Amino acid sequence: MPTPKLNYLVDILMAISFIIIILTALNSQRGGLHSTFGWIFVALVILHFLLHWKWVISITSNFFKK
Protein backbone atom coordinates (compact mmCIF):
# COMPACT_ATOMS: atom_id res chain seq x y z
CA MET A 1 0.00 0.00 0.00
CA PRO A 2 1.47 3.46 -0.89
CA THR A 3 2.61 5.39 2.19
CA PRO A 4 0.13 8.34 1.93
CA LYS A 5 -2.81 5.88 1.93
CA LEU A 6 -1.30 3.92 4.83
CA ASN A 7 -0.71 7.18 6.78
CA TYR A 8 -4.32 8.20 6.08
CA LEU A 9 -5.67 4.81 7.25
CA VAL A 10 -3.55 4.86 10.44
CA ASP A 11 -4.69 8.42 11.25
CA ILE A 12 -8.39 7.66 10.60
CA LEU A 13 -8.15 4.57 12.88
CA MET A 14 -6.42 6.74 15.53
CA ALA A 15 -9.23 9.31 15.36
CA ILE A 16 -11.96 6.62 15.62
CA SER A 17 -10.13 4.90 18.54
CA PHE A 18 -9.69 8.24 20.30
CA ILE A 19 -13.43 9.06 20.02
CA ILE A 20 -14.32 5.57 21.42
CA ILE A 21 -11.74 6.01 24.25
CA ILE A 22 -13.21 9.36 25.29
CA LEU A 23 -16.85 8.21 24.99
CA THR A 24 -16.17 5.10 27.13
CA ALA A 25 -13.69 6.69 29.59
CA LEU A 26 -16.07 7.45 32.46
CA ASN A 27 -17.58 3.97 32.90
CA SER A 28 -14.46 2.03 31.98
CA GLN A 29 -14.07 -1.61 33.10
CA ARG A 30 -11.11 -3.97 32.74
CA GLY A 31 -11.18 -5.66 29.30
CA GLY A 32 -13.98 -3.34 28.10
CA LEU A 33 -14.13 -1.04 25.07
CA HIS A 34 -12.05 1.69 26.76
CA SER A 35 -9.04 -0.48 27.57
CA THR A 36 -9.26 -2.44 24.27
CA PHE A 37 -9.29 0.72 22.15
CA GLY A 38 -6.85 2.33 24.60
CA TRP A 39 -4.25 -0.33 23.70
CA ILE A 40 -5.13 -0.18 19.98
CA PHE A 41 -4.60 3.60 20.17
CA VAL A 42 -1.19 3.16 21.87
CA ALA A 43 -0.11 0.74 19.09
CA LEU A 44 -1.35 3.16 16.37
CA VAL A 45 0.54 6.09 17.97
CA ILE A 46 3.77 4.02 17.89
CA LEU A 47 3.09 3.04 14.24
CA HIS A 48 2.36 6.70 13.41
CA PHE A 49 5.74 7.70 14.90
CA LEU A 50 7.57 4.92 12.98
CA LEU A 51 5.95 6.02 9.68
CA HIS A 52 7.18 9.59 10.30
CA TRP A 53 10.54 8.66 11.82
CA LYS A 54 12.59 10.56 9.14
CA TRP A 55 10.55 13.68 9.90
CA VAL A 56 11.18 13.30 13.67
CA ILE A 57 14.96 12.91 13.10
CA SER A 58 15.20 15.88 10.70
CA ILE A 59 13.12 18.25 12.90
CA THR A 60 15.08 17.19 16.00
CA SER A 61 18.50 17.68 14.37
CA ASN A 62 17.39 21.07 12.97
CA PHE A 63 16.18 22.11 16.43
CA PHE A 64 19.60 21.49 18.01
CA LYS A 65 21.57 23.14 15.15
CA LYS A 66 23.17 26.50 15.95
Contacts with ligand HEM by CB under 6 A lie at 21, 25-26, 28-30, 32, 34-35, 38-39, 41-42
Side-chain-facing half-sphere of 46: CA atoms under 13 Å: 6
- Distance from C-alpha of 29 to C-alpha of 66, rounded to nearest angstrom: 50
Q: Tell me how far CA of residue 44 lies from CA of 22, 23, 41, 66, in angstroms.
A: 16, 18, 5, 34
Supply the minimum distance, in Å, between the C-beta of residue 33 and ligand HEM.
8
Cβ-closest position to ligand HEM: 38
Supply the minimum distance, in Å, between the C-beta of residue 8 and ligand HEM.
20
Supply the minimum distance, in Å, between the C-beta of residue 6 and ligand HEM.
21
